[in-house]
């Protein structure tokens, strides 16, 4: 009896499934559209989720549509963060600093036009630098001396701000923006820019840009580009597999499954270091065992970075350097080959040695401490950043093997940033943003210098030195490096900084994050490759996305 | 008449309490959205100091007005609500909340609404049938559907997408309509309507599969119970046809408790199906909710919760009115 019942149940399931499949095939008719053809739009997912904001205001840094930055509005120059080559001119032609670095003279290319046909002159550039949040308190004057020359004068040397001033200030047309008083609430739904593309249509699920006929190098070969909003990485992976989209920059654990049929190619760049951020300075109000450099040094040698890279980052991450220079790009700034790599294998004997030399003893529970009480360090990461969560778990387990107690927990994203900014934390997994140019200056200035930090309880006003790291040698050398263009002096300053930060480890490097890009090489040619990294092929990177688009051609 | 007046009064008070709670809840959450937003801006700004103008703009927009008492904030909140001004979103700055909700609401209401009604009707009809034929092989439908309901929704959706959309390619993977065919957004045409229908099939199926079991089980049990009532036996003794007994006598009475549950389910339609919208990148209000909570976007959170509260209350009110109409006992005791 029982068996016959079960059989019937099985049959019912089968019948139901068949019926379901029949109705489904009957319904789906349209939806094809993956095949090539030169006039179809190139489809991109730049990481936007739906609903996409109808906002093309270049001053809405966080909320404007991605293609505002690069494809529609341009900076003066493009700084390729993957290479040490000099900047490429976009609106700008060349630039020059005065001897002391306080006067910056910019020549722009002649006969350029905005997408509405109005002439783009040095006046627009000068207007941009004097507009809204672009106004730098250290700027003395900005002047367009003729149609193609702009002179910016500052009260302090600005050698190190080149990528900021020239590479990420979005040039806006004066004839439109002079009437916009409140740039924070402007949504600029009909943007007039100088970039290779102009906005064609917008909906909150996707927007389309088309080639700008007024573009100074002529309209790009790819005539239309559609940017789509997708809510999950899995959906984007599925769309890529089925040939619905052509270009994404996202994490895919198993890239071979995507690239095996030869249509999609991938490029993996490792740039931004993932670190264990520690609240390091007792003077500035940090508490906990991690304020002792010896403890940080012991953790640094006790963790198994190769296991973390394999298990938490799917083996796609790169090797971090305690000098925080990006190798091989910043090779010339590296003071010693010893600082090229953080230890990849754990060395528990060395960790024991460091801790014992610093006066710690192992208690009966197998954990180190002082005065018979073992210490605990709290380590957190934002819930849902799965690679970070996994890495934190591994770190906690690996440190326990060396007798260091690290308690791992996850917090909501909202509760992640506030304690970091205010300094109310002990240790957190944290991503440091790599400098955009082949010079680690901005990393040292923004993450390691005293002016970039604040007391615990206050937020840093300038910079993101959340580690509360304060070291007079680093501060002095950052100042030295800022005031010169002489490579020998700079190198010497960086060597001193690197010695300090690699010893003190306010940020304990873990890995270099992978940034994977996937793109359709069957229907489009001209993508960046390992041999020709003219720009990072990541659609969410401002300016670089536009550089890549202008290099592309539909395949015949 | 007294019944209706009482109920309306009760709902007005509930409405006031709910709207006040809606004001309070986000303010009890940890974290400071203005500080978070400023931090984000500073980072995005390449570490450049923000102008005084920007900072003031952010702090006044995000509702963390300095020097404003709690009471003043509450009064201002009511003033805004009565004008239909739900403020400006910070995560989607500077888009007005009312516009965001307005754009998302129809998608959710139609998809989740249709799926809920479909699931209810299917569950009730099947439940009545299973209850009627109790003790035969159709009883297996109960564990089968409850099993389907116990599959994690997320997983079910991913499997369906992997098989039907990626492998077989018969249904679209994401969206409320084909963004490739309609790059300009929604339009009034049959082609567009067809596209929305095709895009709704998969999300709707997953919702129905994962919710029909509850309705079926409830209806079946009520049906079994009703069939042992004296009036059913009387009807059988009178020699009425089995189909008449099934529909007019048993099922009609058995459906009453399920209808009450349906009222509540309808109210929650507006809350959307957060996971559905996430998996299918379907435009809808659940997504706004989750994004606003993640970004501590007070205005948007309040707006979304307010709309959900209103919808639940309205649906309950409606069902109670209908209930009072079909079941006279409620009217007298109320």
- pLDDT, one tens digit per residue, over B12-56 is 999 899 888 877 766 666 666 666 656 655 554 544 556 665 565
Mutate to test the interface with A, among B29, B62, B87, B94 (most CBs of A within 10 A): B94
A89 near A165, Cβ under 8 Å?
no
Q: Mark yes or no for CB contact A205/B178 under 8 Å.
A: no
What tens digit of pLDDT does each residue of A220-229 get?
Answer: 999 999 999 9
Q: In sequence order, which ranges of A313-454 are alpha helices (DSSP H)?
A: 348-357, 386-401, 413-422, 441-443
The pLDDT value given to residue A281 = 93
Q: Mark yes or no for CB contact A239/B277 under 8 Å.
A: no
B155 near B164, Cβ under 8 Å?
no
Kindly tell me if the per-residue pLDDT of A215 is higher than 80.
Answer: yes
Q: Mark yes or no for CB contact B173/A5 under 8 Å.
A: no
What's the first-to-final CA gap in chain B, in angstroms?
Answer: 11
Q: Give the pLDDT mean for A312-330.
A: 90
Question: How far, CA to CA in Å, does B309 sit from each of A78, A85, B294?
Answer: 50, 58, 20
Q: Measured between beta carbons, which residues in chain B are less than 8 angstroms from residue A164?
A: 46, 48
**Chain B 11-30, residues with CB within 8 Å of chain A CB atoms:** 29-30
On whether any CB of chain A is under 8 Å from the CB of B135, the answer is no
* Residue B140, phi-psi category: left (phi > 0), alpha (psi -120 to 50), beta (remainder): alpha
Q: CB neighbours of A377 closer than 8 A, spacing ≥ 6? A: A288, A289, A290, A295, A404, A405, A406, A407, A426, A427
* Alpha-carbon torsion (A413, A415, A421, A427), positive or negative: negative
**Chain B 67-106, residues with CB within 8 Å of chain A CB atoms:** 88, 91-95, 100, 103-104
Q: Mark yes or no for CB contact B295/A235 under 8 Å.
A: no
User: Residue A208 in 3-state DSSP?
Assistant: strand
Nearest to A446 among B47, B137, B171 (CB): B47
User: Residue A499 in 3-state DSSP?
Assistant: helix
Q: Mark yes or no for CB contact A9/B172 under 8 Å.
A: no
Q: Which two tokens stand for residue B50?
A: 């923000």
Q: Is the ipTM of this complex over 0.85?
A: no
Strands A42-45 and A247-249: parallel
Least reliable range by pLDDT among A188-197, A456-465, A525-534: A456-465
The pLDDT value given to residue A251 = 85
Which chain A residue has the Cα nearest residue B142?
A9
Q: Mark yes or no for CB contact B49/A462 under 8 Å.
A: yes
Closest by CA to A381, choosing from A315, A430, A454, is: A430
Which of the two residues, A455 and B28, has the higher pLDDT score? Answer: A455
Which chain A residue has the Cα nearest residue B199?
A28
User: How far is the C-alpha of B156 from the C-alpha of B166, rounded, in Å?
Assistant: 14
Q: Mark yes or no for CB contact B201/A206 under 8 Å.
A: no
Kindly tell me if the per-residue pLDDT of A6 is higher than 70.
Answer: no
Q: Mark yes or no for CB contact A31/B179 under 8 Å.
A: no
The pLDDT value given to residue A360 = 93
Nearest to B173 among A12, A201, A238 (CB): A238
Q: CB neighbours of A151 closer than 8 A, spacing ≥ 6? A: A103, A104, A105, A106, A141, A142, A143, A145
User: How far is the C-alpha of A403 from the C-alpha of A362, rounded, in Å?
Assistant: 7
The pLDDT value given to residue A348 = 94
pLDDT band of residue A20 (cuts 50, 70, 90) is very low
Q: CB neighbours of A93 closer than 8 A, spacing ≥ 6? A: A107, A108, A109, A148
Nearest to A462 among B47, B53, B280 (CB): B47
List the beta bridge partners of residue A88. Answer: A78
φ, ψ of residue A93 in degrees (nearest 5): -110, -55
Say which DSSP state A549 is in: H
Say which DSSP state A288 is in: S
Q: Measured between beta carbons, which residues in chain B are less than 8 angstroms from residue A166?
A: none
User: How far is the C-alpha of B296 from the C-alpha of B144, rounded, in Å?
Assistant: 41
A254 near B181, Cβ under 8 Å?
no
Nearest to B103 among A31, A51, A232 (CB): A51
List the beta bridge partners of residue A108. Answer: A92
Distance between B319 CA and the closest CA of chain A, angstroms: 33
Least reliable range by pLDDT among A265-274, A421-430, A541-550, B309-318: B309-318
The pLDDT value given to residue B28 = 65
Least reliable range by pLDDT among A180-194, A290-304, A341-355: A180-194
User: How far is the C-alpha of A415 from the C-alpha of B30, rounded, in Å?
Assistant: 7
Q: Mean pLDDT score of chain A, rounded to an integer? A: 88
pLDDT along chain B (334 residues), means of 10: 83 89 69 61 52 56 58 74 73 77 88 90 93 89 90 88 90 87 85 90 90 92 91 91 88 86 81 81 86 74 84 84 73 60
Q: Give the pLDDT mean for A509-513.
A: 94
What tens digit of pLDDT does each residue of A49-60 get?
Answer: 888 888 999 988
Q: Measured between beta carbons, which residues in chain A are less than 8 angstroms from residue B182?
A: 203
Distance between A207 CA and the closest CA of chain B, angstroms: 7
Q: Mark yes or no for CB contact A415/B31 under 8 Å.
A: yes
Q: Tell me the longest C-alpha to C-alpha distance in chain B.
A: 88
pTM here is 0.79
Strands A427-431 and A376-382: parallel
On whether any CB of chain A is under 8 Å from the CB of B332, the answer is no
The pLDDT value given to residue A15 = 38
What tens digit of pLDDT does each residue of A468-503 get?
Answer: 999 999 999 999 998 888 899 999 999 999 999 999
A136 near A154, Cβ under 8 Å?
yes
Which chain A residue has the Cα nearest residue B162?
A238
Q: In sequence order, which ranges of A114-265 are alpha helices (DSSP H)?
A: 122-129, 162-167, 174-177, 233-241, 256-259
Question: How far, CA to CA in Å, does A479 sit from each of A152, A483, A546?
Answer: 21, 6, 34
What tens digit of pLDDT does each residue of A107-161 get?
Answer: 999 999 999 999 999 999 999 999 988 888 889 999 999 999 999 999 998 888 8
Q: CB neighbours of A545 closer than 8 A, spacing ≥ 6? A: A46, A66, A67, A69, A70, A71, A538, A539
Distance between B173 CA and the closest CA of chain A, angstroms: 7
SS (H, E, C) A236-273: HHHHHHCCCCCEEECCCCCCHHHHCCCCEEEEEEEEEE
pLDDT band of residue A23 (cuts 50, 70, 90) is very low
Q: Give the pLDDT mean for A390-417.
A: 90
User: Which residues in A18-47 are b (16+ Cβ under 10 Å) and which e?
Assistant: eeeeeebeeebeebeebeeeeebbbbbbbb
Which chain B residue has the Cα nearest residue A43?
B180
Q: Measured between beta carbons, which residues in chain B are less than 8 angstroms from residue A22?
A: none
Which chain A residue has the Cα nearest residue B277?
A231
Distance between B109 CA and the closest CA of chain A, angstroms: 16
Q: Measured between beta carbons, which residues in chain B are less than 8 angstroms from residue A415?
A: 30-31
Taking each helix axis from N to C terminus, what angle separates B141-150 and B212-227, rounded to the nearest 10 degrees? 150
Q: Is the peptide bond before A48 cis (omega within 30 degrees of 0)?
A: no
Q: Mark yes or no for CB contact B92/A33 under 8 Å.
A: no
Q: Mark yes or no for CB contact A238/B161 under 8 Å.
A: yes
User: Residue A303 in 3-state DSSP?
Assistant: coil
Kindly tell me if the per-residue pLDDT of A552 is higher than 50.
Answer: yes
Which chain A residue has the Cα nearest residue B137?
A5
Give the Cβ contact number of residue A331 at 10 Å. Answer: 12
Nearest to A232 among B162, B166, B279 (CB): B279
User: How far is the C-alpha of B219 from the C-alpha of B120, rounded, in Å?
Assistant: 10
Q: Give the pLDDT mean for A422-432.
A: 92
List the beta bridge partners of residue A144. Answer: A150
On whether any CB of chain A is under 8 Å from the CB of B239, the answer is no
Q: Mark yes or no for CB contact A31/B31 under 8 Å.
A: no
pLDDT band of residue A34 (cuts 50, 70, 90) is very low
On whether any CB of chain A is under 8 Å from the CB of B66, the answer is no
Strands A149-154 and A139-146: antiparallel
On whether any CB of chain A is under 8 Å from the CB of B127, the answer is no
Q: Give the pLDDT mean for A180-199.
A: 89
Q: Count how many pairs of residues, chain A against chain B, have C-beta atoms within 8 Å.
A: 203
Cα–chain center distance at B128: 26
Q: Which two tokens stand for residue A537?
A: 């092929």
User: How far is the C-alpha of A307 from the C-alpha of A314, rounded, in Å?
Assistant: 10
Distance between B261 CA and the closest CA of chain A, angstroms: 27
pLDDT band of residue A189 (cuts 50, 70, 90) is very high
Nearest to A230 among B93, B177, B281 (CB): B281
Kindly tell me if the per-residue pLDDT of A257 is higher than 60.
Answer: yes
Question: How far, CA to CA in Å, does A290 sit from each of A501, B49, B232?
Answer: 15, 30, 76
**Chain B 299-318, residues with CB within 8 Å of chain A CB atoms:** none
Which chain A residue has the Cα nearest residue B51?
A133
Q: CB neighbours of A312 closer than 8 A, spacing ≥ 6? A: A387, A388, A390, A391, A393, A394
User: How far is the C-alpha of A431 from the C-alpha of A32, rounded, in Å?
Assistant: 40
């Amino acid at each position: 009896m029982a068996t016959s019942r079960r059989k019937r149940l099985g049959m019912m399931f089968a019948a139901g499934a068949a019926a379901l499949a029949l109705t489904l095939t009957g319904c789906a008719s349209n939806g094809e559209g993956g095949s090539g053809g030169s006039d179809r739009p190139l489809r991109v997912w730049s990481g936007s989720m739906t609903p996409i904001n109808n906002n093309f205001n270049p001053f809405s840094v966080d909320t404007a549509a991605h293609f505002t930055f690069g494809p529609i509005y341009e900076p003066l120059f493009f700084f390729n963060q993957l290479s040490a080559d000099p900047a490429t001119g976009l609106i700008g032609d060349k630039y020059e600093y005065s001897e002391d670095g306080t006067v910056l003279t910019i020549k722009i290319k002649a006969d350029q036009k905005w997408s509405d046909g109005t002439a783009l002159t040095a006046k627009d550039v000068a207007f941009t630098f004097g507009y809204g949040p672009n106004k730098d308190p250290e700027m003395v004057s900005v002047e367009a001396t003729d149609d193609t020359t702009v002179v910016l004068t500052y009260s302090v040397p600005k050698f190190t701000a080149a990528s900021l001033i020239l590479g990420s200030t979005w040039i806006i047309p004066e004839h439109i923006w002079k009437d916009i008083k409140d740039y924070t609430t402007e949504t600029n739904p009909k943007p007039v820019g100088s970039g290779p593309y102009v906005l064609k249509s917008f909906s909150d699920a996707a927007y389309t840009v088309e080639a700008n006929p007024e573009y100074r190098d002529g309209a790009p070969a790819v005539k239309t580009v559609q940017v789509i909003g997708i809510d999950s990485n899995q959906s984007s992976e599925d769309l890529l597999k089925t040939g619905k989209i052509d270009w994404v920059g996202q994490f895919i654990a198993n890239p071979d499954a995507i690239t095996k049929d030869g249509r999609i190619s991938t490029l993996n760049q490792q740039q931004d270091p993932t670190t264990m951020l520690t609240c390091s300075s007792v003077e500035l109000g940090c508490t906990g065992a991690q304020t002792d450099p010896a403890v940080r040094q012991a953790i640094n040698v006790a963790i198994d970075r190769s296991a973390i890279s394999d298990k938490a980052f799917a083996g796609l991450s790169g090797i971090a350097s305690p000098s925080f220079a990006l190798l091989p790009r910043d090779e010339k700034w590296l003071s010693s080959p010893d600082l090229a790599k953080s230890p990849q294998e754990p060395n528990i004997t060395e960790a024991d040695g460091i801790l014992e030399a610093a006066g710690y003893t192992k208690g009966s529970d197998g954990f180190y401490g002082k005065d018979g009480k073992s210490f605990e360090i709290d380590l957190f990461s934002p819930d849902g950043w799965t690679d970070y969560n996994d890495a934190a778990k591994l770190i906690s387990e690996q440190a326990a093997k060396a007798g260091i107690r690290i308690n791992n927990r996850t917090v909501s994203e909202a509760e992640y940033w506030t304690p970091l900014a205010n300094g109310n934390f002990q240790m957190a997994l944290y991503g440091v943003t790599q400098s955009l140019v082949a010079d680690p200056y901005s990393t040292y200035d923004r993450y390691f210098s005293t002016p970039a930090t604040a007391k615990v309880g206050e937020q840093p006003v300038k910079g993101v030195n959340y580690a509360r790291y304060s070291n007079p040698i680093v501060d002095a050398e950052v100042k030295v490096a800022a005031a010169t263009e002489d490579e020998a002096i700079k190198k010497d300053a960086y060597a001193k900084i690197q010695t300090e930060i690699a010893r003190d480890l306010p940020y304990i490097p873990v890995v270099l994050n992978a940034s994977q890009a996937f793109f359709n090489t069957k229907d489009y040619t001209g993508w960046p490759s390992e041999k020709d990294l003219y720009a990072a092929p990541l659609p969410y990177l401002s300016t670089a996305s536009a550089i890549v688009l202008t290099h592309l051609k539909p395949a015949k | 008449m007294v019944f209706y007046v009482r109920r309306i009064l009760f709902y007005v008070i509930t409405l006031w309490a709910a709207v006040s709670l809606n004001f309070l809840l986000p303010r009890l959450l940890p974290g400071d959205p203005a500080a978070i937003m400023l931090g984000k801006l500073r980072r995005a700004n390449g570490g450049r100091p923000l102008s005084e103008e920007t900072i003031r703009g952010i702090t006044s927009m995000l509702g963390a007005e300095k020097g404003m008492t709690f009471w003043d904030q509450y009064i201002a909140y009511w003033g805004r609500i009565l004008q239909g001004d739900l403020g400006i979103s910070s995560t989607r700055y500077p888009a007005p909340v009312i516009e965001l909700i307005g754009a998302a609401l129809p998608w959710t209401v139609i998809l989740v609404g249709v799926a809920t009604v479909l699931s209810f009707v299917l569950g009730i009809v099947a439940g009545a049938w299973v209850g009627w034929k109790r003790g035969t092989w159709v009883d297996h439908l109960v564990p089968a559907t409850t099993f389907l309901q116990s599959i994690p929704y997320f997983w079910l959706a991913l499997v369906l997408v992997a098989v039907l959309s990626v492998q077989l390619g018969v249904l679209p993977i994401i969206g409320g309509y084909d963004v490739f065919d309609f790059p300009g957004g929604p339009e009034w045409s049959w082609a567009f309507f067809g596209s929305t229908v095709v895009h709704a099939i998969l999300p709707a199926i997953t919702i129905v599969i994962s919710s029909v079991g509850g309705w079926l089980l409830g209806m079946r049990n009520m049906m079994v119970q009703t069939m042992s009532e004296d009036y059913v036996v009387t009807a059988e003794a009178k020699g009425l046809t089995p189909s008449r007994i099934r529909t007019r006598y048993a099922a009609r009475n058995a459906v009453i408790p399920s209808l009450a549950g349906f009222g509540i389910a309808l109210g929650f339609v507006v809350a959307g199906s957060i996971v559905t919208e996430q998996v299918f990148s379907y435009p809808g209000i659940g997504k706004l909710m989750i994004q606003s909570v993640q970004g501590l976007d007070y205005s948007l959170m309040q707006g979304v919760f307010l709309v959900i509260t209103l919808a639940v209350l309205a649906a309950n009110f409606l069902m109670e009115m209908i209930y009072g109409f079909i079941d006279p006992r409620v009217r007298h005791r109320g």
